[in-house]
A and B are shown apart, each in its own frame.
Chain A
Amino acid sequence: MRRWVLVLMVAGVFVAAVLFTESRWEGDVTEGAATPLAEKAGVEESQVLPWKIDGDLLLFFFLSGGAVGGFAAGYYWRTLFPGSGSKEMA
């Protein structure tokens, strides 16, 4: 019980710190490092795939990927550790 309270407290502090950080959160750190160098070199991102995924479609794929990946992780976890959940509940 005490462990879960600690986890919730850490998670709460983390979420609050993220929410009160002023940023638009655009692009990851690789883009942040590469973009200025690419602009200086006159190179632009290109598109190879015949489709472009952005906006709400990207949100759809992230949620779907998270759900499928989470299901797979949970399925294999239960296969490997069949008693772990029920032991905690008991």
Chain B
Amino acid sequence: MHIPEGLIPAQQAAAWYVPAVGFVGAGLVGIKRRLAINPELRPLIGLMGAFVFLISLIPFPVPGLGTVSHPCGTPMAAILLGPLTGTVLGSVALFLQALFFAHGGITSWGANVIAMAVGGSFSAFAVFKVSRRAGLGLGFSAGLAGLIGDLVTYGITSFQIALALHGDEAVLNVWGAAFASFLPTQVPLAIAEALFTAGVVVYIANQRAELLEGAVVRP
């Protein structure tokens, strides 16, 4: 989800920017509207913003493999605040990481936003809603959403890399190989993200259920 500067051709980078900016713009409008109705959401948005920034920046080592990768944080934000708000928080985190932390890039920001902010948020939100409607428990639904949101993020990143660098080979073949190379590192991190997401969502729902009135935790 931190595709570096220069690996994506200029036209593709620009093409990823268009939907990314659209989602972020819609998310900003949504946040403004929701804060006007319920100003008490402000600290929760602040908390999730800090969590997404920290979680998606920490290079998490995988013992035995000798590789590091990043959880996303956007699934948790999407479950608690909705996918458009999760998108905004993820996009801000990715912008700061590109500017000051040598993670990602300015030209690849649009692609990274689509993978981590949009893909991670919307897939997790959809999984969470479907799981809850199917009668699964809050913690299990949140954990499953965290797991899937994390893996979808890296699935999209693999596709973006394949689309940019497939050369003479078929994009789908390169996508499959790239995604397969992510999995040994990413699956343990996705499980960790699932546990963390479930823990935080259940804790907030237990401690301050009123914060989430009208939100997505209680469909």
Contacts and interface: CB of A to CB of B under 8 A. Distances in A.
A84 to B, nearest CB: 7
B66 A29 contact: no
B57 interface: yes
Contact of B66 (A22, A44, A73): A22
Contacts of B174: 37
B182 A29 contact: yes
Interface of A: 14, 17-18, 20-25, 27-34, 37-38, 40-41, 43-49, 53-54, 58, 61-62, 65-66, 69-70, 72-73, 75-77, 79-81, 84
Contacts, number: 143
Given A34-B165, A80-B43, A84-B207, A69 B100 contact: no
A28 B59 contact: yes
Interface string B136-176: 00000000000000000000011001101111000000100
Contact of B54 (A33, A49, A66): A66
Contact of A14 (B47, B63, B103, B167): B63
Contacts of A17: 63-64
A76 B46 contact: yes
A21 B59 contact: no
A84 B44 CA distance: 16
Contact of A40 (B49, B51, B70, B165): B165
